[in-house]
Homo-oligomer: A and B are copies of this chain.
Amino acid sequence: MKIPIEISARHVHLCPRDVEKLFGRGKRLTSQTPISQTGQFLSRERVTLRTTNSEFANVGIVGPERRETQVELAATDARRLGVAAPVRESGHLTGTPGITITGPKGSVKITHGVILSKRHIHASKKDAKRHGLRHGQLVSVSIKGERAVTFHNVIVRVHESFHWRLHLDTDEANAAGLTGNEKGDVIV
């Protein structure tokens, strides 16, 4: 079964309290571009991620606000920052390292929340039913081309608001020679 691939560059999710600390009292994230998953958007606002080793400026924020602040890096980024970020599913932040996030009105030093995103498939309940997949299932995805790759241990996440997509980080996309808009084949 074919699946469209989306490449996630390093980005952050912010809780409402951290949005206020970074952008000012009473502020909310504002949408610059909707993204494929319903209701989510790349915000106009940007932050800087900083460690004693290095920093990344102009890092995107995916809104709307979430319950907990989370930073998603590629392993290349984590190495440059000197952060030992583990591979995790979104929201599974126990025991992950922290980082300093800076915006125009202030900084927050999170004590945990920095992860390498575990590669995953978004599927609606309808998609899951059609393809015989279940929430939490691990599948492989095969990608053709000069740098053909099969990614294993891809986790399926099912939610009625989801759209049928494979999400990879920039290291994974580069290893597969992807630039965006390619498709993969899901292998169960």
Give residues in A with beta carbon < 8 Å to B.
Answer: 74-76, 79, 87, 119, 146-153, 170-172, 174-177
Contact = CB atoms under 8 A, between A and B. Distances in A.
A174 B74 contact: yes
A28 to B, nearest CB: 32
Query: How many copies, total?
Result: 2
Mostly, the A contact residues are mixed
Nearest to A170: B76
B177 A175 contact: no
A149 B148 contact: no
Interface centre among A146, A148, A153, A174 (most CB of B within 10 A): A174
Contacts of A175: 149, 151, 171-172, 174-176
A46 to B, nearest CB: 17
B153 A146 contact: yes
A179 to B, nearest CB: 9
A128 to B, nearest CB: 22
A142 B149 CA distance: 10
10 contacts: A75-B177, A76-B171, A79-B174, A147-B153, A149-B149, A151-B175, A172-B174, A172-B175, A174-B175, A175-B175
